[in-house]
Structure 1
């Protein structure tokens, strides 16, 4: 088995499959985020380095480093290698998922057979993700931070950050999505925003409350003043004090500073998780919540928020027609049992009365 010292750096650009990898990344770039593409590229680069080293270790020709020669054992060795080098379960799962998606693309384009893909990944044993304790900032806790911020110096940055925290807590919007909000996509008549997960992706509509509306209107006035002052244009809702677009990482950085300054543990995703918790606890339909959160599958919503959704799921199942029918059967059965018990009791009483009367007649005779 390979160890870190044997992990030779291989020139990614010289692998025989370079054009296939490039085509795969180009294909994904049309509908995947830039972050996802970087992750895929990095994962495939690491995999091909490993694959090449594995071939060298077995005295095989490096030219045989082709996708079509990847088999199940190659992937299993790749998984074990990373585990031996104490990489986290999340990293291993992410890298293998990238390789799997790449081979799926090759199978779709008949570079490898679908049977080959199936043979490699069917029932493949993967490390299990460790359940981490996750921060959950519900609306009442988010408001506590906002009240702290309102007492600070009244600046454009402070007003912008108050809007950011409030909007994320009130809508469950992602960090990337809030960075891409176009002011023209905000409808103040029905309090909705058309948002995009990434540029070019399908939009979805989210709603916001009246308290967000008033703060947003005031912020837009400040934003317009700054853009005019520096003679700049922007399609993004959130901007810097010089009129440039606010970077995605700057949103996280601001929350990190608040965590240090006010001893208030908070992240962008903790606000999103808090929103989902608030909605679930208020008995929001799971399917609707999935759409609001922007999940492609309802399974994603359930798997990520299973603890807070367990009550809602149970109630939803209880309201299912079959559950009601079963409940009706149970009630009828219970009623039948009650009626049967009453009948037996009556028969016993009649039997006792007949015996009493029989004894009285015997005495008179």
Structure 2
């Protein structure tokens, strides 16, 4: 009898980030399945696959591996949760001290202040975490008052010298600035220049590849979901939060409620998608959410990712593709079709046109018109 595959999930801290590591006895099938999980990376340092820890990640991984009927051991996450609160941090081999009781109370008040300002849960968690590290750094150095100089010191010692990522540095700066507002501190010359982020181009599918993905998806719910994500340029969270009455077939629009930045917006409803949507609603009769799981709650992102992965396997597409790639492809195809960049910005719900302008760099329209000098040799 074939031995049952066992997957073990364990916590790991690296560069002040909580990670979930995935352990298993080497098996090519298992490794290939692990690698295609959205956000999965491989660490040569720890010789293991890992992904970033979130409040739902362990559950998502559990569901993902259980679809293969593999045994999943996540007992390491059932143990003392203080592993996430009392992790040891080092700067140049110096251990950061724990916060005093007064500082801990101050941090909790800061958390409530951020929540009252209606920051997202993830943002609140991040700002509180990085501010706590900053205050612990001050205790390590014996610095009593927050000043422009102490912030610059922390930025250099804790971020620059330890080679933290650009995004992490920006999070630290934002969190500390919010804490300064919370404390109503008057600090002169607090000017910490934010580093420029890496300008990576998004992965984009061709129209033929999108069609192949949709054609290979025979399940009615799955095909409708992927079609809605692409045809409306949605973030997956927006698609899964849709309600049946958000689809306005009379006006040819889809209402997106409380999207990023807590803003409502309208986006396109493709006329050719309407028959598929009507057939789907008649068959599944969704009530609360347009796409519902078995329990009647919103369909999960884990399940949606599995739908896409299956389609990619069937079509043989090997490039790196996520559900967000469908949104990138929608925007790029609109731009290549001659749609004004300002309309694309509105449809995607971008605050700044600079965000939308990235699609001008991946659009092939102008590039294909350039005559390659090789052709004239």
The TM-score, its normalising length taken from structure 1, stands at 0.65
Q: CA deviation at 1:82?
A: 2.8
The partner residue of 1:46 within 109, 112, 130 is 130
Partner of 1:125: 193
Partner of 1:243: 296
Partner of 1:189: 250
Matches within 5 A, 1:311-322: none
2:177 is the alignment partner of 1:100: yes
User: Does the 8 A contact of 1:9 with 1:49 survive in 2?
Assistant: no
Q: CA deviation at 1:218?
A: 1.0
User: Does the 8 A contact of 1:8 with 1:49 survive in 2?
Assistant: no
The partner residue of 2:140 within 50, 57, 62 is 57
2:106 is the alignment partner of 1:17: yes
CA distance in 2, matches of 1:102, 1:257: 45
CA distance in 1, matches of 2:354, 2:252: 28
Q: CA deviation at 1:5?
A: 5.2
Pick closer, same or farther for the CA change 1:98–1:220 going to 2, 3 Å.
farther
CA distance in 1, matches of 2:101, 2:167: 24
Long gaps (5+) in structure 2: 1-89, 367-377
Q: CA deviation at 1:203?
A: 1.5
Partner of 1:334: none
Q: CA deviation at 1:213?
A: 0.9
Partner of 2:277: 216
Q: Deviations over 1:83-103 (max 9, x none)?
A: 433432222223323333454
Q: Secondary structure at the match of 1:206?
A: strand
Long gaps (5+) in structure 1: 151-157, 228-233, 313-365
CA distance in 1, matches of 2:223, 2:277: 10
More helix by share: 1
Q: CA deviation at 1:238?
A: 0.8
Matches within 5 A, 1:1-365: 2-3=91-92, 6-10=95-99, 14-15=103-104, 17-18=106-107, 20-29=109-118, 32=119, 36-52=120-136, 54-60=137-143, 64=144, 69-78=146-155, 80-103=157-180, 105-106=181-182, 111-113=184-186, 116=187, 119-121=189-191, 124-150=192-218, 158-198=219-259, 201-224=262-285, 234-259=287-312, 262-264=315-317, 265-302=320-357, 304-308=358-362
Pick closer, same or farther for the CA change 1:184–1:100 going to 2, 3 Å.
same
User: Does the 8 A contact of 1:290 with 1:298 survive in 2?
Assistant: yes
Q: CA deviation at 1:307?
A: 1.2
Q: Deviations over 1:28-51 (max 9, x none)?
A: 32xx4xxx4323322332332233
Pick closer, same or farther for the CA change 1:309–1:18 going to 2, 3 Å.
same
CA distance in 2, matches of 1:202, 1:119: 34
CA distance in 1, matches of 2:284, 2:103: 49
CA distance in 1, matches of 2:364, 2:327: 18
User: Does the 8 A contact of 1:281 with 1:308 survive in 2?
Assistant: no
Pick closer, same or farther for the CA change 1:76–1:247 going to 2, 3 Å.
farther
User: Does the 8 A contact of 1:276 with 1:289 survive in 2?
Assistant: yes
Pick closer, same or farther for the CA change 1:238–1:310 going to 2, 3 Å.
same
CA distance in 2, matches of 1:136, 1:4: 44
Q: Secondary structure at the match of 1:140?
A: helix
Count of residue pairs the alignment pairs up: 275
CA distance in 1, matches of 2:331, 2:101: 42
Q: Deviations over 1:200-223 (max 9, x none)?
A: 933211122122111111111122
The TM-score, its normalising length taken from structure 2, stands at 0.63
CA distance in 2, matches of 1:135, 1:170: 17
More divergent stretch after superposition (15-24 vs 160-169): 15-24
Q: How well do the aligned residues superpose, as a CA RMSD in angstroms? A: 3.2
CA distance in 2, matches of 1:74, 1:132: 29
Pick closer, same or farther for the CA change 1:202–1:47 going to 2, 3 Å.
closer
Q: CA deviation at 1:15?
A: 2.7
Q: CA deviation at 1:145?
A: 0.7
